[in-house]
Amino acid sequence: MTRKKTMAPQRFDQRQTMFAVHPPAPGAFDGVPGESQGHSMVAYAKTRAASRTFDELQNACACGPKVPEKEPCSLGPAELTQAVLTSAAEFGADAVGICAVREAWIYSCDHSGAPIALPKRCDRAVVLAVAADVDRLQDAQPLAANAETQLSYARSVFATSLMAHFLQVLGWEAQASTNDTALSIPMAVEAGLGLLGRSGLLLTDTHGSAVRLSKVFTDAPLEAAARSGAELQPYCRRCRVCAKACPAQAISMDSEPSYTVTGPWNSQGVLRWPVHAQRCYDHWRRIGSSCSVCQAVCPFSRQKKQLPL
């Protein structure tokens, strides 16, 4: 299925994600513990502990931009920016950057159909990446790999929550966001964290695509990163490692990126190789857990390649 070619990214409706179209039952992707299936009870317990922690922290941060705790601190933009960038590592982030917020990245509606509108004054975002262990993502036991995925989500929401509270205590509004509210990947590219790959994932300079992304929207006068203008397409055009390894044939083998979409799950107006999210999601449902093959096999995830940033 193709749509009219356009250069302008259009706002994405979160109801079009697979998780919104086919809401999974609680625990649907937590796997089934049992040695006969190669799943260990320990890995299962890690998965459940991580997803509970994620849900608790996510719910605690999910009620819109919090009011600042006091008048904004006297730090100027440069000092404040430096404080945010250096503190992010202490909060557990493996990469951090700052971008100006574009309306095109904000979801038009959330998964329940409620319109999303951030306050215009929250025109900056701190974008965070938290790495997963690529060897554990490639564990032969699917539940062990799934546990690492869930643990990295828990570490990500923890770092994001800390960053949001940090800005609030300094006197600014701040809203923490993981996969909700806005498209993380274009924000991460704009913030200088990495580049979009054939796999539909962000590839970072330090951990390739083995990262979880999140962001904190704020009205703090932070200095945004300058865009490098680099792109990964010349490399992904030849590589195709993720597409060949995908067990669901969900990643495009096309020679060239395009504005083609494979379904409503692809945002429109973006030049890239579109991922067939329905095939990916159906694979997750078949195996009863998440899949990380495309993250684990990408040469950048093992730092065998330097990104052209």
- Specify whether the CB–CB gap between 297 and 199 falls below 8 A: no
**Closer CB to ligand SF4, 159 or 251, in the complex:** 251
129: contact with ligand SF4 by CB under 6 A: no
**Closer CB to ligand SF4, 108 or 206, in the complex:** 206
57: contact with ligand SF4 by CB under 6 A: no
**Closer CB to ligand SF4, 223 or 254, in the complex:** 254
- Specify whether the CB–CB gap between 142 and 151 falls below 8 A: no
| Closest approach of ligand SF4 to the CB of residue 258, in Å | 15
Q: What's the DSSP call for residue 249?
A: -
**Degrees to nearest 5, angle at CA 243 with 242 and 246:** 80
Residue in 68, 197, 257, 274 binding ligand SF4, rule: CB under 6 A: 197
**Closer CB to ligand SF4, 121 or 286, in the complex:** 286
Question: In this chain, which stretch among 27-35, 43-51, 104-112, 241-249 interacts with ligand SF4, using CB under 6 A?
Answer: 241-249
Would the CA dihedral through 246, 250, 252, 108 be positive or negative?
negative
C-alpha 173/C-alpha 216 separation (Å) is 10
Residue in 96, 250, 270, 307 binding ligand SF4, rule: CB under 6 A: 250
**Closer CB to ligand SF4, 270 or 298, in the complex:** 298
Written as six digits, the tokens of 29 are 């992707």
Q: What residues contact residue 225 under an 8 Å CB cut-off, 6+ apart?
A: 97, 98, 99, 190, 191, 192
- Specify whether the CB–CB gap between 155 and 55 falls below 8 A: no
**Degrees to nearest 5, angle at CA 15 with 142 and 211:** 40
211: contact with ligand SF4 by CB under 6 A: no
Query: 20 to each of 41, 265, 271, how far by Cα in Å?
Result: 29, 10, 24
294: contact with ligand SF4 by CB under 6 A: yes
Question: 30 pairs with which residues across the strands?
Answer: 289
Binding mask 260-289 for ligand SF4 (x = CB under 6 A): ---------------x----x--x------
Question: In this chain, which stretch among 63-71, 74-82, 244-252, 262-270 interacts with ligand SF4, using CB under 6 A?
Answer: 244-252
The residues of the shown chain that bind ligand SF4, judged by CB under 6 A, are 197-199, 235-236, 239-242, 246-248, 250-251, 275, 280, 283, 291, 293-294, 298-300
